[in-house]
Amino acid sequence: MASRFGLEIRAADSVDAPGVAELLQAAGLPGTAAAITARLERLRLERATVLLAVEWGPPSGIIVFHPRQTLLADLPTAFVGALLVGPDARRRGIGRLLLKAASQAARSAGCGDLALSAAPEQANLRAFAEATGFTASETSFVRPLRKQRPS
């Protein structure tokens, strides 16, 4: 999935593990290439979608979502398990592009909503969620992926 200005949004593969590990480490999060390789494989087996934003060098950002059926909706909900943009790549629209690509992929997978958890202390993530069309609920932010029909 290509994007603008030389930024490419694409599915992650095990060969991306060293770059993903570098992205996590730049954000102060743990992860070795070997651990990331194993995690990417587990995510693939769980039918999760892992998308990367890549310009040159290591990935600039990553988003991971898992489609899950819930009791409250007919269509599965895509739960975002990770959304991260590297510290040097922030404030350039990469998070929005990752979210847009994840929304398209989740819609194609038959999901009706995209859900994102953000703890109270994650003020930047909460503001980002609100700015990108999510509605706050008690435990997360939810954004419909399909047009709502009047009841």
Band the pLDDT of 114: cuts 50, 70, 90: very high
- Taking the CA of residue 4 as centre, how many other CA atoms within 13 Å lie in the half-sphere pointing to its CB? 7
Which helix (H) or strand (E) segment holds residue 140: the answer is: none
Percent of the chain with pLDDT over 90: 57
Mean pLDDT for all residues in the chain: 88
Kindly report, residue by residue over 81-109, the tens digit of the pLDDT: 999 998 888 888 899 999 999 999 999 99
What CA–CA distance (Å, rounded) separates 135 from 150?
18
Q: What share of the chain is helix, strand, coil (3-state, %, to 5)?
A: 35, 25, 40
Q: Label the pairing between strands 113-116 and 135-136.
A: unpaired
Which residues are bridge partners to 116 per DSSP? 80, 141
pLDDT of 61? 94
Kindly report, residue by residue over 19-46, the tens digit of the pLDDT: 999 999 988 898 899 999 999 999 999 9
Domains present along the chain, CATH in parentheses: 8-144 (3.40.630.30)
pLDDT of 150? 56
pLDDT of 151? 52
What CA–CA distance (Å, rounded) separates 40 from 17?
8
Centre a 10 Å sphere on the Cβ of residue 82 and count the other Cβ atoms it contains: 13
